[in-house]
Amino acid sequence: MKFGFLTSGGDCAGLNAVMRAIALYLDRNVKNAEFLGIPDGYGGLVRGEGVPMKASDFAGLLNVGGTVLGTRRMPFKMMTSEEEDGETRLDKLCANYKKLGLDCLFTLGGAGTHRTAALLCAEGCNVIGLPKTIDNDIYGTDVTFGFHTAVDVAAEALDRVRTTSESHGRTMLVEIMGNKAGWLTLYAGIAGGADAILIPEIPFSIDRLCESLEADRRAGKRCSIVAVAEGAVLAEEAPYRRKDRAFARAERGETTVTAHLAEVIGERTGTETRATVLGYVQRGGNPSAYDRVLCTRLGSYAGMLARQGRFGVTVAVSRGEITFNALADIAGKYKLVDPDSEIVRAAEGIGVCFGR
């Protein structure tokens, strides 16, 4: 049987570790298993490219960050629109799946990757998805690989910023990735002992935030750390669509809410305030021990599904157990933080301000 691999969307720690586990499982459990690495995500398959690989090519990749196959973003919307030659990218993906002689394609990616994978399945290709993203926003799985490594990086950054905050008595804003979801900021914020955590799921009031920071100072705190999700929204922005919010911000010369916040907090509280944008350091680097274990479990399970001929699914974690969901059931859905969840309440219970 011939198994193809592609990694699509933003990179994160653990992509290589998952492919390693799949390849090692199949090499041991399927006779004459062949592997094909497809470069640069769906782009490579659109072009019909594939590089033959051996299980030994994957063997040393457990702790190697990024992806040896390369990755690209290819928005889902582009898949079904006709190109100049009259064919859609989806047509090309399916034709090349057959041309390359694949019996199964493993697609490692986030929500967008899963949507395209579901389309491929509907066209008769055998696909198994693997849930990758530092955003942890894939529907139907408790956790995605790459998330906990990014949490570790962001939490360490908060620790480092704290010492400067303490030395200077400053308020420090740390902008954390996560797209439309607040998971990464919530976890890193709690792990890094942030005084305030601002996430897209809980639109915040600047008044509340400043009151809380001022109260902390009156109580004797010398430093303040605010973890700000890149997608955080002010309560007054919340009624508007994401696009319109982005447009209004762009007109003010801002991309995220962080820069604006730093200025306002500084003025209102009279405390020196600085902002740090963590950016891609959160995605890069080698997987943490947690992710190495998770990737090994997810990859080994995906290999087992392929051996059993269960396609059209994506591997998932539910209550600590590895399981799977039908791609058709999860495609196009997102998992966001519930503002009333235990974890948010726990943080609020010890005084963390969410700006509400």
**Polymer length in residues for the chain:** 356
11, 27, 135, 291: the active-site residue = 135
H or E element at residue 107: strand 104-109
Q: How buried is residue 44: exposed, middle or buried, by Cβ count under 10 Å (0-12/13-18/19+)?
A: buried
Q: Applying CB under 6 A, does 67 fall inside the site for ligand F6P?
A: no
Is the Cβ of residue 135 or residue 195 nearer to ligand F6P in the bound state? 135
H or E element at residue 277: strand 273-277
Compute the least distance from the CB of residue 59 to ligand F6P, in Å. 28
Contact segment (CB under 6 A) with ligand F6P among 16-24, 173-181, 299-307, 315-323 equals: 173-181
Q: Applying CB under 6 A, does 258 fall inside the site for ligand F6P?
A: no
> What are 70's two structure tokens?
């390369």
Q: Applying CB under 6 A, does 179 fall inside the site for ligand F6P?
A: yes
Is the Cβ of residue 264 or residue 281 nearer to ligand F6P in the bound state? 281
Compute the least distance from the CB of residue 5 to ligand F6P, in Å. 20
Phi, psi of 303 (to 5 degrees): -60, -40
Q: Three-class SS of residue 1?
A: coil
Q: Applying CB under 6 A, does 134 fall inside the site for ligand F6P?
A: yes
CA distance 273 to 174: 11
Q: Applying CB under 6 A, does 66 fall inside the site for ligand F6P?
A: no
Is the Cβ of residue 170 or residue 283 nearer to ligand F6P in the bound state? 283
> What are 224's two structure tokens?
């303040």
Q: Are strands 51-53 and 34-37 parallel, antiparallel or unpaired?
A: antiparallel
Per CB under 6 A, the list member of 14, 131, 178, 299 interacting with ligand F6P is: 178
Task: Tell me which residues touch ligand F6P (CB under 6 A).
Answer: 10, 73, 110, 133-135, 177-179, 230, 283
- The catalytic residue positions are 135
